[in-house]
Each structure stands twice: as structure tokens, then as C-alpha cells.
Structure 1
Amino acid sequence: MEPIFATSSSQIAMRGRKQNQEEIISRASSEHKEGPVCEHISSVGEYVTIGDKIFKRSDFENYLSSNPSSDVRLEQPRPTNFANPLPLGLASFSFMCLTLGLVNARVRGVTDLNLLNASFIFGGAVVLLSGLLSFCVGDTFCMTVFGTFGGFWISWGCLNLEQFGVAKAYADNPQALNNILGFYLAGWTVFNFMVMVCSMKSTWGIFLLLLFLDLTFLMLCVGSFTSNVNASMAGGYFGILSSCCGWYSLYCSIANKESSYFPLVAYPMPSIHQV
């Protein structure tokens, strides 16, 4: 009698699954007669939700395997293509680095930063935005570099704006102000050196940009501590070289055979394994 009982139980289970499958088919055919309809699908444990209806996972899988031409269509995630935020950050960074370098180098006798203070804040906002967008595409290096330097340009503009009262607070002790600026620039020298080392497997343009920028911070730091004009001017010239490398990397990022008759090559650093 035991084999007969086992056979009866399996038949009952098969009938139950068949009834569930027929219920799925009848619901799908009655509600989607007009044509294919996309339904959102989600799964929790042994149950599957299609739209506002819940089915058992086993019945749903059996239904799909036995009805490959069903009118019910599952909503598939669409691939999302994000733009590369690197050119945006390079554009703003190179522009601000060039203007600040020209002033520090005292080109044409210009030594006043008042006209550029607002530009520092605006340029810093764009660089910071590029860093945030790098987070969206999963680029940790660009997110760190652009996010940090966005804060640098904003803070540098605030340091030179009279409304923030930094120069006024040290009006009686200008040497103390120079020392504080030296400490500030020393911190940026250390940070820039670390990201420069981390760029040794990128391209020559990015590596040289960070190398010249590190020399810029170093010379400006020495100029602040020693009040040496020549050191500050040397920092300005290194800043100009850094901006030139940024412009080159920017052009390589946006110029290709489809958009320009004169594309340039972003030469990789040596010993990089090409995939």
C-alpha cells in the first residue's frame, strides 16, 4: 500500500503545480491581450512579484520554461552610460592653475589677485562637481583628486577675499600670516606628492601635471616662509607648466577621429600592462 500512497501524493502535487501554472497563464492572457506589456519583477524568498501579483518561485520558473513565447515581458534594467567627468575637471583646474601661475610669476608686472578671487570660487565649484561625478562612475582616484582640489581653489579664493577678514586679522603681524600660509601650502605639498605617486601608472600628461604642481606648492611654500619673491615666481612658472600638461590631457580626452581632424595621443607611462 505504501507505493500506491506515494504515487497518489506525487500526483496531487503535480496537479497543484499544474493548476498554479494554468492560473498564471490565464491571468497573463486575460490581462495582456492587447500586446506585450512590461512588468516590474522582484523576488523575496520563495515568492516572485510581477506587478501587483505574487507567485511562488517554482511555479513562476516552470511557467517561463514551458512558455518561452508568452506575451508577458519582464522589465530588464537598461544600461546607463555616464560621461567621463575627467575633461570637466581638467578644464577648470588648468584654467585656474594658469591664471594663478601667471600672477605668481608676475607676468607683465601683475601681482594683485583681487580680480581672480571670485574665479577661484567658481573654478573650485566646477572641479568639486567633477569629483562628485567621478564618484558616480566609480573612479576613486579622480574623485579624491578633483574633490580635494575643488576645496583648495574655494579655500584659496576665500583666503584672498577681504570679506573673510584673513588679511585683516594678521594686519599687525604679516610674518605670522606668511607662516600660516606656509603651513597651508606644506600640507598641499604632501597631499600632491601622494597623488603624484599614485599616478605613475596613468599617462605622462597626468603625471607631469601633478609633478609640476607639487613643485609649485613646494616653491610657494618656501616663498611664504622666507618671503623670497624669486621662490614664489618659480612656483608661478611651475604652475604654468602644470596647466599646460592639463590642457594637453584635456584635449586628448575630448578629441578623437570622430570629433577632430587633429586628435592627440595620451601617452601611457612605461611598464603599463595594456589590456
Structure 2
Amino acid sequence: MEVNQINKSLLADPAPLGLAAFGFTTFLLSFVNAGILSGTAVSVVMPLAFSYGGFAQLLTGAFEMRRGNTFGFTAFTSYGSFWFFYGLLVFFSYLKIITISVHALGIALILWGLFTLYMWANAMRLNLALNMTFLFLWLAFMALGFGAYYSNTTLTRIGGIFGFITAFFAVYTSFAIISNSIKEKTLPLGSPWFKK
């Protein structure tokens, strides 16, 4: 065995951390998108977006890379970066350094939807819980993107509802992985739609 080779059985699975960071940050923002909390609540979302949604997912992505998990590395690093993107956008707008173009924001969210679409295509081969996380995240990004582009409150609220469903599946997956690491096969993750 090479000196720099890792014994993967001795490493903790970083995915539950990244899924919890993603899920709980998404839950909070979805309260705003769904119209349950006012837009001023974004000031509470931002610190969470940087510290948990952003930083914890980037950290998770680094550990997934170390474990050789290309899917996990790409997903967690990308969505961690998304939270930094969103947080900086709101922060710079608040400081009046930039003016947010709703059309550009809409296109950016739709592009994140396209990225999520091809991640979802691969999540179909993992387990049902992750499959549902990426499916509803794709729907959320598309609804939010078109809602921003057309300044359509109804679409934005639908995106918020899809965000709640996304967050539920992400948090459930995190909880199930942790539970199953303590007592094997405590909670089901569901079978993949397609075999690897």
C-alpha cells in the first residue's frame, strides 16, 4: 500500500454535514420565497448562507474529493459556492455596490437549474432520497428563475414550496445516513431508479 493512500473505512462520511447545511439553509430561504416571511428576513438567511450553506458545503466537498467521490465533490462544492454567490449578491446590493438585474438573476437561477438537471440525471443512480432532493431542487431553481425573470410572485412562491420539499429530502437523507451509521439500515434511502 502506498504511503499516501487512505484507508477509507477509517473516514467519516462527510455527506450528512453537507446535506444538513444545504437543507436547513434552503428551508430558511424558502420561507421568504414562499411568502411566509417578508423579504427583510433575508438578513437572517445571509449569515447562515455564508457560514453553514456555503462554508460547510465547501468543506464537505473537499472531504468528498479526498474520498474519491466525484459526484459528492461536484455537488457540495457547487452548491456551497451557490450560497456564497447568493450571499454576496444580497450583501453587495444592500451596500448599493451593485444593482440586481431581475433578468440576469432569473437567467442565473435557470442556469443553476440546468446544472441541477444533469446532477439529478446522475442522482437517479444513487438512491431515491437523493433523487428526490435533486428533482425538487431542479423544479425550485426553474420556478425561481422564471419567477425572477418575469417578476412573477406566484412562480417565486411555487419555487419556495419546491424549496421546502427539496430541503425536507436533503435533511431526511442527512438524518438517515447518520442513523444508519450508528445502527445499520435503520432508515431507508430508497432504491435508485437506474442501476450504476
Q: Which residue of 1 aligns with 2:162?
A: 238
Higher helix share: 2
Q: Which residue of 1 aligns with 2:35?
A: 106
| 1:266 aligned onto 2:195 | no
| 1:89 aligned onto 2:18 | yes
**For 2:67 and 2:6, how far apart are their aligned partners in 1?**
16
The CA RMSD measured in Å over matched residues stands at 2.5
Write the deviation string for residues 233-261 of structure 1: whole angstroms up to 9, x where unpaired: 0000000000000111111101038459x
Q: Which residue of 2 aligns with 1:191?
A: 115
Write the deviation string for residues 150-197 of structure 1: whole angstroms up to 9, x where unpaired: 1000110111114774x5532xxx6xx101101211210110101000
Q: Is the 8 A contact 1:158 1:164 kept in 2?
A: no
Q: 1:117 to 1:253 in 2, by over 3 A?
A: same
Q: 1:235 to 1:163 in 2, by over 3 A?
A: closer
Alignment of 1:83-162 (within 5 A): 83-107=12-36, 109-112=37-40, 113-123=42-52, 124-162=54-92
Indicate which of 204, 212, 220 corresponds to 2:128. Answer: 204
Higher relative contact order (CA 8 A, sep 6+): 2
**1:86 counterpart letter in structure 2:** A
Matched residue of 1:198: which SS? helix
Identical amino acids, percent of aligned pairs: 26
Q: Is the 8 A contact 1:219 1:231 kept in 2?
A: yes
Q: 1:271 to 1:191 in 2, by over 3 A?
A: closer
Q: 1:133 to 1:78 in 2, by over 3 A?
A: closer
Task: State the Cα distance separating 1:110 from its structure 2 match.
Answer: 2.3
Task: State the Cα distance separating 1:263 from its structure 2 match.
Answer: 2.4
Matched residue of 2:39: which SS? coil
Paired residues in the alignment total 191
Q: Which runs of 5+ in 2 are unaligned?
A: none
Write the deviation string for residues 14-71 of structure 1: whole angstroms up to 9, x where unpaired: xxxxxxxxxxxxxxxxxxxxxxxxxxxx9xxxxxxxxxxxxxxxxxxxxxxxxxxxxx
Q: 1:110 to 1:201 in 2, by over 3 A?
A: same
**For 1:164 and 1:224, how far apart are their aligned partners in 2?**
18
**2:82 counterpart letter in structure 1:** F
Greater Rg by CA: 1
Q: Structure 2 length as normaliser, TM-score? A: 0.88
Q: Is the 8 A contact 2:128 2:193 kept in 1?
A: no
